[in-house]
Structure 1
């Protein structure tokens, strides 16, 4: 029988590959975040300190679940040997000193970059700079005992920080070039995206906490608008926690960061200060547009249904981030997810986000009554969706170096509802062109 004429596959005989993250870790973090949100709404705590507390309410339960229930610290992928006695300090102290030098060196470079880049000292970025400035003191202090403790237990303690430390102390001949590049890329990801996430934490928190319950329950449209704000708050909170908790004992360290320039370009143009979708940018699709409430205001039923649909899409978007637990991060491999929305699509966040934009903006309608504006906005939003398709392809090119992702991608092609639907809708002659080729390991010829 032709494969395309078969019914949906029986996954009992083709089980989904195991996920690097359990469902429980995301759910316990969500429970903690919701509990704190309820307290904050009850007492009107909508300030930045309450927003930072929300990160603790989300992150601490996930750390405890990961260690006590999932026991992630025992996984071989951590590189930690728990079964043998720790090595004597005299054997690892020189390594630890070099690693601390490497860490402090990269932090100094990141701090200098923050100081030089002017956008970090304006608007919401100022909050991120304040938080990171205070946190840097704790980082400097606690990095010493942490590195010394960890190096005595690591199977191979000479990681990227050690190689960078060798370079800084004048022993560059001992430093591996590939290890240095991996180290720099990983910290570039964390430095860029963590500052951005922290900067938007307070704003998203206010949007979820400030609306009064009477306003929320007044009509379905208000409820939908508030739910959308809550979903974005959940997404931002989990993402920020993910960028913070890149620790080996949690098995949440960065295995690799995307080594391809196209991957970085596709991601960075979606974030400030490089974002192209902002007002006045080359991919601004809002000229002469209005949102869904403007266009559907004359039909309360349709407006309510569309509002709930948009809340559902935002829920999928937030779910895709919650599924990461403590591992969310752009441009990195921190373990392959196969559960939650990733059992249906390899890119559920991109898919739901772009659908949200199309339904929320309705770009083919223009308040100027100018058909050119409508056509332009529709085409430009199509280009924005194309950017996210580009991001997905460049991410897959990077992740295909991981055997776990290759196994997951193959399973999705056989069983994933959305990949199977796309396959059926794609002409046979074009399918081979959309197959992602397995990329070589970074640095190989």
Structure 2
């Protein structure tokens, strides 16, 4: 009998974070606060309860970091270069989706200066991954083979440099956008507000995840996917690479979304919009249950709670299904060929996410906990239950025919 492993993040931890996020958003709405204030409340009230919960539950004692200030300063220089280089790439090649990081360049510089100051006066307070980054680059420059842990640390910071600025920019954009429409009274305004708030929570939890790799809450990165296919399939979904892949090659948007085809307040509009919100809610839930451990391309513990009890990739499944309902690529085309091409383009996007799912499984299968989880899902997940139901009906049908 397959065993369901305990989730790396307790449901209570993510629950406290979700409650804090809702309180933060509620305060922003009730007091009509500025978008930056609402975003700060959302982030703080989501992150702090989860950090406290994880710190108390894990009772981790990582010990003091015994390295020199010089080693830490080298690591800080590497981290600073990674973040500034990533943000500059977004500003040059990331189009509108990546351009949102422009307002984060100065805060990023200030954060890196604070890291440098800490490296000078109290290096023991820094994460061990920072001096490890310096050692990695130093080993490469000298033509030596870096230590495995230094490789993991460096690649972990590359992941954070790529995704953290985007998540910060996008979460703020969703909060600001929701605040502009949440006073509307028609169904489309309600729908837009709900969708914006769900995506705001999703990207906020992703932001917290990338910021929460401290050993003190046992959130450190255990391993990073080191395959080209894993990285390319993930990066293809985010700017700047998505500007080429999704906005140039796989264009599935017709310029008209589902709201253009249904009357506001009609039964069809309520059902269609409700289905989109339901799929997006499950997708957001799949991010929330990671608590402070969400991040792409990394292994930071196996999550088995929430929608991950139903299947291994609920977020990808619900996100891709919602895009079919939102952008209706089969409608709004001048010719049948245009409709076919738009549908094929969205199927291409779905295929990229299928590759991401496959590469993530390949990466995580080195952990026996994940193998146990995959075996449990194979026997108890939604697809397994559906197969059992269909098989049972087929057997029952044959029994009636025989009678």
Higher mean displacement: 392-401 or 124-133: 124-133
Offset from partner CA, 1:149-199 (integer Å, 9 cap, x none)? 579xxxxx7x78347438639995886343343222111101000011112
Aligned match for 2:365, one of 394, 400, 418: 400
Deviation by residue 1:319-374 (Cα, 9 ceiling, x = unmatched): 01100100110000011100001111111110000010011122111242x11111
Does the 8 Å CA contact 1:98/1:166 hold for their aligned counterparts? no
The equivalent residue for 1:128 is 104
Between Structure 1 and Structure 2, the one with more helix by share is 2
If the length of structure 1 is used for normalisation, what is the TM-score? Answer: 0.78
Partner residue in 1 for 2:181: 211
Structure-1 residue corresponding to 2:394: none
**Which residue number in structure 1 is paired with residue 288 of structure 2?**
322
Structure 1 residues 376 and 177: alpha-carbon distance in aligned structure 2, compared to 1, 3 A threshold: same
Deviations 1:98-126 (A, max 9, x none): 65144213224315524753616984121
2:3 is the alignment partner of 1:46: no
CA distance 1:170–1:196, change in 2 (3 Å)? closer
1:373 is aligned to 2:359: no
Indicate the residue corresponding to 1:117 in structure 2: 89
Distance 1:99 1:290, change over 3 A: same
Matches within 5 A, 1:310-389: 310-368=276-334, 370-389=335-354
Query: How many pairs does the alignment contain?
Result: 387
Shift of 1:223: 2.1
CA distance in 2: counterparts of 1:170 and 1:14, whole angstroms: 44
1:37 pairs with 2:33: no
* Distance in 1, Cα, partners of 2:137 & 2:162: 23
For residue 135 of structure 2, what is the aligned residue in structure 1? 165
Query: Where does 1:7-22 land on structure 2 (aligned, <5 Å)?
Result: 14-22=2-10
> Which residue, out of 188, 191, 197, partners 2:167?
197
Q: Is the 8 A contact 1:296 1:302 kept in 2?
A: yes
CA 1:166–1:207 in structure 2 vs 1: closer, same or farther (change >3 Å)?
closer
Which whole-Å CA distance do the structure 2 matches of 1:254 and 1:276 have between them?
Answer: 29
Deviations 1:81-100 (A, max 9, x none): 6xxxx7xxxxx74x344651
If the length of structure 2 is used for normalisation, what is the TM-score? 0.86
Shift of 1:253: 0.8
Superimposed CA distance per residue, residues 222-248 of structure 1 (whole angstroms, 9 cap, x where no aligned partner): 322221111001001110011111101
Mind listing any 5+ residue stretches in structure 1 that lack a counterpart? 1-12, 87-91, 152-156, 427-445
- In the alignment, is residue 294 of structure 1 matched against residue 264 of structure 2? no
Deviations 1:277-332 (A, max 9, x none): 78741011013x52111122288101111111111111001101100100110000
Inter-CA distance 374–165: structure 2 relative to 1 (3 Å threshold): same
Partner of 2:78: 106
- Alignment partner of 1:281: what SS? helix
Give the Cα–Cα distance (whole angstroms) in 2 for the partners of residues 416 and 147 of structure 1.
47
* Equivalent-residue separation in structure 1 for 2:332 and 2:139 (angstroms): 61
* Aligned counterpart, 1:430: none
Does structure 1 residue 414 correspond to structure 2 residue 390? no
